[in-house]
Chain A
Amino acid sequence: MSLSSPLSVLERPVVTDVAASPAPVETSTPRRRRWVRPVLLGAVLPLALIALWQLIATSGLVASYRLPTPLGVWAAGVDLYERGVLYQHVAISTQRVLLGFVIGSVVGLALASVVGLSARVSEFFAPTLGALRAVPSLAWVPLLGLYLGYNEDSKVALIAIGAFFPVYTTVASALRHVDAHLVELGRSYGYSGPALLGLVQLPAVVPAVISSLRLALAQAWLFLVAGELLGASLGLGFLLVDSQQNGRIDRLFLTIILLGVLGKLTDTAVGVLERFLLKRWGS
């Protein structure tokens, strides 16, 4: 008996026509152009700003101890680099941010999974975490300093706290709003617990997880500066305070620019991860 017979009444498989038509072939040239243009366009404003900055700084409108020239800032950077400290400041700050970010978001994801999946656990944890979240972040600094000392641990802990909340809040709420129909589907096909989590809930919240990670990363840099401002002997936050106290306006500008560039770089890295994950798990 032939099983393909039922549909053989159809002279052509109407329903699969869409799929059968080949996808348009992408040549590499327009693809490269597609990202070259936004990059060029995006570079226009920063370059213009630097030019304007140079103009203002050299015009004498603003005193030079209040506004360094772009070249002066560059020179300050080269100077720090040649002394071998620039790398140290950047490295230690990046290390703190990444450590705190990873710890905070992993704990955030874990707790969000438990809280988002079980109404009972949520009732148990949610009010406490909500209250903790309401505490202004900097209020933790003295306590962490007292408990852990003004060392790496306390700084990483502070950054982890900063990274934890965006991940926890966003992901827990996303998990609670996963399509109940799909969850029921998973259950009715024999999935439960971690298997169900892997089948339905986690993939469903991938977009929320990614946007929360981006938020968490921004928070991590924020908390880094807060932590280093208040007690450090190395790092970009320390460089800010140190430059201010010594009237090194050029280094102050340098540090701010470095923070901007580093923040953007790490965000871009998460963006790449995002594109990869959404391709795999996006709908």
Chain B
Amino acid sequence: MRTAVSSAWHTLNRPSRYFSIGFLTIGGFIAGVVFWGGFNTALEATNTEAFCISCHEMQANPYQELKPTIHYTNRSGVRATCPDCHVPHEWTNKIARKMEASKEVWGAVFGTINTREKYLAKRKTLAQREWTRLKANDSLECRNCHDFEYMDFTRQSKRAEQSHSTILASGEMTCIDCHKGIAHELPDMRGIDLGAPNSDTR
């Protein structure tokens, strides 16, 4: 065993006898590109809506709920897909979110939300995770498409303008503070702020 290891090490450690250094560098570089590309391709493949809803839980619940909303069909035909709102664009954040998502795959395999009832029971926890994330990153995913800089208040409704030009503009609140439940149905909202401080539904 020991000898096998040391002989293998020797082989690796020996200067190359047949290949030029140039070949090795370029070859290594190409191999690197291929592996890196492959990794990112796999990453991209998991970054599509088709992948998200290949999982029954996501197809039957959030996807069905997204369909009647403005982020699925609208007059301009621009769509938001699951990863648009749920996966950060920046690479490191993306990897972090993917590691987190592995836990969700675990959940799917072991059926923690495999019926509508279980999903509804879990919804508040899951939703709260998304709200915390979007609150912490100042609704980054929303802003990837909706840039405050380019919002023309004169073209918005009065109610929208009133909120956007004050509380949003001052940075007091961010999109997700006021726009919860734009893509899916909401869980029991008792005790959760919806736009106005101290709001409850009474």
Do chains A and B interact in one complex? Answer: no
Name A's B-contacting residues (CB within 8 A): none
